[in-house]
Amino acid sequence: MVAQLSAKRKAKAPVQSAHKKAKTVHLSANELPWKTVSKAHEAGLDAGLEGIMELEEVDGVDVVYEETEAGRIVKFSVKEDEPKKKNAKKEKAIAPTQQEQTEAGPSRSSVEPAAVGERPEEQAFDSKTLLPSWHQFSLHPQLNRTLYAQSFSNPTPIQAKAIPAASKGKDVIGVAETGSGKTLAYGIPILHYLLTQAKAKPLVQKQRRPTRALILAPTRELALQVSSHLNACLNVVDVNTAAVKQEEEEPDLGLKARSKGKGKAKAAPAAGQPSSPKLPPLVSVAAIVGGMSAQKQRRILERGVDVLVATPGRLWDIMQDDDALARDIKSLKFLVLDEADRMIENGHFAELDNIIRLTLKQSGDETIEPELDFDDDGNVIPKETAVGAHGETNDELQTFVFSATLSKDLQRNLKKRSYPNRKKNKPATTLDDLLLRLDFRDPEPEVIDLSPEGGVVSTLRESRIDCLTNDKDAYLYYFLLRYPGRSLVFLSSIDGIRRLMPLMELLQLPAYPLHSQLEQRQRLKNLDRFKSTQNSILLATDIAARGLDIPAVDHVVHYQIPRSADVYVHRNGRTARAMRSGFSLLMVSPDERRVVRALLGSLGRQEEEIPDMSIELYLLDKIKARIQVAKDIDSLQHKVKKENHEKNWLKEAAAAMEIEVDSDMGLSDDDGAAAAIPSKHQRKTTNAKTAVLKAELKELLAQPLIARGVSTRYITSGSRPIVDDYISGEYHENMLGLKKTQAGQDVVPRKARKVVKKEEYEEWKGFES
Ligand SMILES: Nc1ncnc2c1ncn2[C@@H]1O[C@H](COP(=O)(O)OP(=O)(O)OP(=O)(O)O)[C@@H](O)[C@H]1O
């Protein structure tokens, strides 16, 4: 129970007025413009100040002590004109439009002083002047403010279509290219609704917030990203700082990618608000994902979250012990499936199916009990007694399904909901099944399909290299040296990443791994390092293929070919986002060629459409030498590691069995010739070999790679004089004789490609026959 207790008021310390000319009025304490401040959460006041439920403060007040016959009295003097002048400019910029006032609820006129307890989020914003392209949507001022601060001056095409439809209460199926702002296309309508609904509740209220929106995402990283993307829209920003910065920056070219720290303004208290105390958010967003403390997530849920972004597995785990949450899911206002097709791939089918089942509109014969029963596989057991017993329906629910890849057939079926046997209590078995059992309340969901022809984003440059499987390392190394930048390299297996990582380290390339067998903390750390290092490499499985919005990925490399056309589209979508240019390279070995042809065919494309990457073969040979030495070192190191591991294992096993290792098993260090464990001598030899190879590699790495025809003695001579490149600063630091270029400049049309090498030809022939 929350008791409403008397507020503690604090006035600023007495100050002698410096502005003698300003008109001052004396007010009683109750007439002063008090503002509510939150209790300093960080200072731990939450727990310690029983009885003090609200703090208030007041600015610009002088306290004057006057001696009267009745004794000393206190007068509060307020300067009348100053504050108004000072804030006039700001107030003009954020004056509300008539429309906004209606949408966002009553807000003050620009000249009215801040109302007691007004929240910065609710201060009006002049979207007509500052964000004309967004004005038509009549968004909550808080959203306008953050859009402005992030320089999102225009809605993206999918946003322009989805926001009005969703705001009208329609269900939306949105398909648009990767990096086109789908998160905000569904996020803005949700936040707008919740913000306009939210009433500034007393800070003391400990009441649990019911979850109103559930966003399901296939991977933990994507869920965390969506949550932070939406949270960024709820940060209070100082619009005036933003305006100044905007003028200083170059003109907006249309779509500017949002990146942390690159926004126009820092999160800051809105104009006229105190800077230190932090109010609890009007609307809260949190992520519930696997691999992170379930207990902490449960605690967050106990307090309640308005918008929950979750991966199905963890959500289902938590829901099984949390009836309140299960009830919330039954009466959601918004359900979003972001990249639903990937959720199926991830093996979360059953959980997703169960969660979706709870969101079905309850009808007379399909009621699901709030208290759930589960079978051994964690599936909901429909209760017989529940039939028609409760009659509660959730007609309110709006469903949004977004992806960059949803087949036209599925879109059509979803719209028509032409699913012959929609037996809702039977588990779904395919994606189509699952999506078709979504209970759209809207008789005609809005299908917005803006996907580009063949799935290719207009700012993406694609290319391919045909090479033998064994040569992929060399080609990859060549590419990474030749085109420095942020490169995301996709592999199909975790083993492949484990094999490549030590090679990258030995070759002194800054590479980080990302796959499902890493601890979640390590995954996030590696992702962060990749994001924050301009020249870096992320070796990732397809957990990084969808949705991840990493600012400025220059290259996507398909080291191993994607297993479907959709994955190809999504992997490529990690670059060329938000109208930036990007580059992708497909590495195709002879045995992958047929699959590539089929894959492109299913996108309605020909192989010839993807040009070849041009390669300096002379340099490639030198690169192969480096790779070979690195591989030799790695295999020696691997051998030593394996032997040490076996030795330790044997020792531990022997100790557990209380056996003398030396005498009983002949595994002493000295008689290694006969034993599984190498002798000291063998180990020494291996170490010496490793040291020699490391020295050799060091020397190779220290020498520049010199292209054919370059004279290092006389830079003005040779068939490839490099003097001009030096003068213009265009010379390539790692590859002498080559110019610094973008990868996209070094592609050649496929028809013009060279004849395959003899040994490749042999292999191809074998495959093709
Ligand atoms: N109106 C806008 N103007 C400029 N940039 C925007 C706008 N809306 C979103 N962005 C930015 O575009 C980038 C891509 O957005 P988002 O991640 O939502 O794309 P997406 O369509 O979901 O991509 P994917 O299909 O790969 O998941 C983000 O950095 C986002 O901040």
- What does the pLDDT look like over 299-347, one tens digit per residue? 888 888 999 999 998 899 888 888 889 999 998 999 999 987 677 666 6
Task: Tell me which of 137, 258, 342, 531 to substitute to probe ligand 1's pocket, judged by most ligand atoms within 8 Å of the beta carbon.
Answer: 258
Looking at residue 114, its pLDDT comes to 41
Distance 130 CA to ligand 1 centre (A): 21
Ligand 1: atom nearest CA of 155 is 1
Integer-rounded Cα Rg, in Å, for the chain is 32
More confident site: 750 or 103 = 750
How far is the C-alpha of 326 from the C-alpha of 156, rounded, in Å?
35
Q: Whose CA is nearest to atom 30 of ligand 1?
A: 258
Residue 112 pLDDT exceeds 70: no
**Over 50: is that where the pLDDT of 502 sits?**
yes
For 93-102, 133-142, 154-163, 350-359, which range has the lowest pLDDT when averaged over its residues?
Answer: 93-102
Mutate to test the pocket of ligand 1, among 134, 182, 451 (most ligand atoms within 8 A of CB): 182
CA–centroid distance, 553 to ligand 1, in Å, is: 14
The residue whose CA is least distant from atom 3 of ligand 1 is: 152
Q: In this predicted structure, what is the pLDDT of residue 361? A: 73
> Which residue CA neighbors atom 1 of ligand 1 most closely?
155
Q: Ligand 1: does its nearest atom lie under 6 Å from the Cβ of 97? A: no
The closest-lying atom of ligand 1 relative to the alpha carbon of residue 154 is 1
Candidate ranges 51-55, 388-392, 522-526, 748-752; pick with highest mean pLDDT: 522-526
- Distance from residue 480's CA to the centre of ligand 1 (Å): 27
pLDDT band at 515 (very low <50, low <70, confident <90, very high): very high
pLDDT computed for residue 761 by the predictor: 44
Is the shortest distance between the CB of 549 and ligand 1 below 6 Å? yes
Find where tokens 């439920």 sit: 53
Ligand 1 centroid from CA 184, angstroms: 7
Report the pLDDT value the prediction gives residue 475, as an integer from 0 to 100. 97
- To test the pocket of ligand 1, the residue of 175, 180, 216 to mutate (highest count of ligand atoms within 8 Å of its CB) is 180
**Closest ligand 1 atom number to CA of residue 225:** 17
Given the CA of residue 178, which atom of ligand 1 is nearest to it?
25
Distance 8 CA to ligand 1 centre (A): 45
Q: What is the pLDDT of residues 611-642, one digit of tens each?
A: 999 998 889 989 999 999 999 999 998 888 77
Q: Residue 259: pLDDT above 70?
A: no
pLDDT for 272: 40
For the segment 404-418, the average pLDDT, to the nearest whole number, is 71
What pLDDT score does 25 carry?
72
CB of residue 573 inside a 6 A radius of ligand 1? yes
Q: Find all residues with CB under 8 Å of 544, minimum gap 6, and list them.
A: 221, 488, 490, 514, 527, 538, 574
Cα of 578 to ligand 1 centre, how many Å? 6
Least confident of 22-26, 291-295, 411-415: 22-26
Residues 59, 306: Cα–Cα separation, whole Å:
33
156 lines ligand 1 (CB under 6 A): yes
Q: How much is the pLDDT for 290?
A: 84
For the CA of 156, the closest atom of ligand 1 is 1
C-beta of 264 in contact with ligand 1 (< 6 A): no
Cα dihedral 112, 113, 119, 124 in deg (nearest 10): 30
User: How much distance in Å is there from the Cα of 548 to the middle of ligand 1?
Assistant: 10
CA distance 706 to 686: 32
Specify the residue with its C-alpha closest to ligand 1, atom 25.
178
Among 366, 348, 347, CA closest to 357: 366
Shortest-distance Cα residue to atom 22 of ligand 1:
182
Average the pLDDT over 130-138 and give the result.
Answer: 92
Ligand 1 centroid to 224 CA: how many Å?
A: 15
Which range scores top for mean pLDDT: 36-40, 59-63, 88-92, 233-237?
233-237
Cα separation, 199 vs 282, whole angstroms: 8
How far is Cα 767 from Cα 769, in angstroms, rounded to an integer? 6
Checking if the pLDDT of 472 tops 90, the result is yes
Q: Pick the residue with more confidence: 255 or 574?
A: 574
Distance CA 398, CA 361 (A): 11
CB-based burial label for 736 (10 Å; 0-12, 13-18, 19+): buried
Lowest mean pLDDT among 90-99, 229-238, 420-429: 90-99
Ligand 1 contact, 530 CB (< 6 A): no
Average pLDDT over residues 736-761: 71
pLDDT at 387: 31
Question: Between residues 204 and 281, which one has the greater pLDDT?
Answer: 281
CA distance 215 to 309: 5
- HEC letters along 341-396: HHHHHCCCHHHHHHHHHHCCCCCCCCCCCCCCCECCCCCECCCHHHCCCCCCCCCC
Q: pLDDT tens digit string along 558-615?
A: 999 998 898 999 999 999 998 899 999 999 999 999 999 999 998 888 888 899 999 9
> Which of 291-300, 398-407, 667-676 comes out lowest in average pLDDT?
667-676
Q: Counting atoms of ligand 1 from 1, which one is nearest the CA of 159?
A: 1
Q: State whether the beta carbon of 182 lies less than 6 angstroms from ligand 1.
A: yes
Take atom 27 of ligand 1 and give the residue whose Cα is closest. 547
- Separation of 152 CA from ligand 1 center, angstroms? 10
Distance from residue 509's CA to the centre of ligand 1 (Å): 30
What is the average pLDDT value for the chain, to the nearest integer? 74
* Alpha carbon of 151 to ligand 1 centroid (Å): 13
Residue 571 beta carbon below 6 angstroms from any ligand 1 atom: no
Name the residue of 156, 159, 456 to mutate for ligand 1: max ligand atoms within 8 A of Cβ. Answer: 156
Residue 647 has pLDDT above 90, yes or no: no
229 Cα: distance to centroid of ligand 1 (angstroms): 9
Check pocket membership of 233 for ligand 1, CB cut-off 6 A: no
Q: For ligand 1, what atom is nearest to the CA of residue 158?
A: 21
| Residue 729, pLDDT score | 73
Between strands 24-27 and 71-79, the pairing is antiparallel
What's this model's pTM, rounded to 2 decimal places?
0.69
Q: For residue 270, what pLDDT is reported? A: 41
Where are the extended beta strands (E) located within 374-483?
Answer: 398-403, 446-450, 460-466
Q: Is the CB of 258 under 6 A from ligand 1?
A: yes
Atom of ligand 1 nearest to the CA of 180: 21
Position 623 scores a pLDDT of: 94
pLDDT over 70 at 149, yes or no: yes
**Tens of pLDDT, residues 677-714:** 667 777 788 889 999 999 999 999 998 888 877 766 66
Considering only 206-220, 392-406, 552-566, which range has the smallest mean pLDDT? 392-406
Winning range, highest mean pLDDT, from 29-43, 334-348, 416-430, 456-470: 456-470
Report whether residue 151 contacts ligand 1, using a CB cutoff of 6 Å: no
Q: Does residue 178's CB lie within 6 angstroms of at least one atom of ligand 1?
A: yes
Q: How far is the CA of 247 from the centre of ligand 1 (A)?
A: 23
What percentage of the chain carries pLDDT values higher than 90? 34
How, if at all, do strands 747-748 and 612-613 pair? Answer: antiparallel
What is the distance in A from the centroid of ligand 1 to the CA of 127?
21
**Over residues 155-176, mean pLDDT:** 94
pLDDT of 428 reads: 53
Q: Give the confidence band of 258 by pLDDT, cuts at 50, 70, 90.
A: very low
Q: Quote the ligand 1 centre to 183 CA distance (angstroms).
A: 6
pLDDT of residue 120: 67
**Region 214-231 average pLDDT:** 92
What is the reported pLDDT for 152?
Answer: 93
C-alpha of residue 179 to centroid of ligand 1, in Å: 5
User: Tens digit of pLDDT for each residue in 39-83?
Assistant: 333 333 333 322 222 334 566 677 776 766 666 666 777 765 544
Ligand 1 atom 14: residue of nearest CA: 179
User: Residue 504 pLDDT more than 90?
Assistant: yes
611 lines ligand 1 (CB under 6 A): no
448 CA to centre of ligand 1 in angstroms: 16
Ligand 1 centroid, distance to 165 Cα (angstroms)? 19
CA dist 135 and 242 (Å) reads: 18
Q: At what angle do helices 294-303 and 312-319 cross, to 10 degrees?
A: 70
- The atom number, within ligand 1, closest to the CA of 229 reads 31
- How far apart (Å, rounded) are the C-alpha atoms in residues 131 and 110? 18
| Contact by Cβ (8 Å): 143, 198 | no
Whether residue 488 is predicted with pLDDT greater than 90 in this model: the reply is: yes
CB atoms within 10 A of CB 65: 9
Residue 396: per-residue pLDDT? 85
The response to whether residue 736 sits with its C-beta less than 6 Å from ligand 1 reads: no
The two structure tokens encoding residue 316: 């289902």
Higher local confidence (pLDDT), 414 or 277: 414
Cβ(330)–Cβ(359) under 8 Å? yes
Q: Is 180 in the pocket of ligand 1 (CB under 6 A)?
A: yes
Residue 189 has pLDDT above 90, yes or no: yes
Instruction: Please name the amino acid found at residue 590.
Output: P
Distance 257 CA to ligand 1 centre (A): 7
Given this model, what pLDDT does residue 271 score? 38
- Using the atom order of ligand 1, give the atom closest to the CA of residue 339: 27
Position 88 confidence tier, pLDDT thresholds 50, 70, 90: very low
pLDDT tier at 298 (50, 70, 90 boundaries)?
Answer: confident
Question: Which residue is closest in CA terms to ligand 1's atom 20?
Answer: 179
